[in-house]
């Protein structure tokens, strides 16, 4: 069931044959009937469909653009809903941009904290290790000095054993 509309037929889907011009133009370039070079396919497709392109673009703009407002109330509703929609979308885009910036910022801050933790852990570990090394060095040094002192005090002329021997020799 097709009816005539300004020289173009309209089918059941309310689609004119002129609206199919763009589809036919593109499909004859992409899916040619005969294999020919791309430039030749473009020339042939444009030459066949150039007369209908103007009407096809007008038909497309008619189907894309909304009809004019019939009442002021409806126009304001559309205007306000479009404005709110634009505000919401711009807000979401801003959030996405800010979210990306914040994610990068917090990732950098996290890396700085991790680096500071590693450095402080290494420093504290080095201090603790140095403390234990110092403790064992002092322990060794103290033991060495004690052994040296014990050795010299045992063999010194003022030791009690040496005095006892000297006194025994004199009394004999």
Indicate whether 130 belongs to any domain: no
Answer yes or no: are the C-beta atoms of 25 and 49 closer than 8 Å. yes
Indicate whether 126 belongs to any domain: no
Q: How far apart are CA 99 and CA 95, in angstroms?
A: 6
Indicate whether 51 belongs to any domain: yes
Alpha-helical segments (H) within the chain: 21-30, 38-64, 72-155, 160-171
Indicate whether 91 belongs to any domain: no
Indicate whether 135 belongs to any domain: no
pLDDT (tens digit per residue) in 122-160: 999 999 999 999 999 999 999 999 888 877 766 665 566
* Domain assignment of residue 61, given as a range: 1-65
Q: Beta partners for 9?
A: 4
Indicate whether 144 belongs to any domain: no
Question: What are the residues whose beta carbons fall under 8 Å from the beta carbon of 52, sequence distance 6 or more?
Answer: 18, 21
What pLDDT, on a 0 to 100 scale, did the predictor assign at position 4?
Answer: 47
What pLDDT, on a 0 to 100 scale, did the predictor assign at position 68?
Answer: 66
CB atoms within 10 A of CB 145: 10
pLDDT (tens digit per residue) in 35-92: 888 888 888 888 887 777 777 777 777 776 666 666 666 677 777 888 888 888 888 8
pLDDT (tens digit per residue) in 1-20: 444 444 444 444 444 554 57
Indicate whether 157 belongs to any domain: no
Indicate whether 131 belongs to any domain: no
Token digits of residue 64? 């894309």
Domain count, the chain: 1
């Amino acid at each position: 069931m097709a009816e005539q509309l300004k020289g173009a037929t309209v089918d059941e889907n309310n689609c004119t044959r002129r609206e199919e011009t763009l589809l036919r133009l593109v499909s004859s370039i992409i899916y040619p009937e005969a294999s020919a070079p791309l430039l030749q396919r473009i020339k042939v497709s444009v030459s066949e469909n150039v007369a209908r392109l103007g009407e096809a673009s007008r038909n497309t703009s008619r189907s894309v653009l909304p009809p004019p407002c019939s009442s002021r109330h409806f126009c304001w509703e559309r205007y306000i809903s479009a404005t709110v929609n634009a505000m919401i979308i711009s807000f979401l885009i801003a959030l996405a941009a800010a979210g990306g910036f914040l994610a990068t910022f917090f990732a950098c801050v996290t890396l700085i904290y991790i680096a500071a933790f590693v450095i402080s852990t290494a420093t504290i570990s080095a201090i603790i290790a140095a403390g234990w090394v110092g403790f064992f060095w002092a322990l060794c040094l103290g033991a060495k000095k004690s052994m040296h002192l014990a050795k010299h005090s045992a063999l010194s002329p003022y030791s009690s054993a040496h005095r006892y021997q000297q006194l025994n020799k004199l009394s004999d």
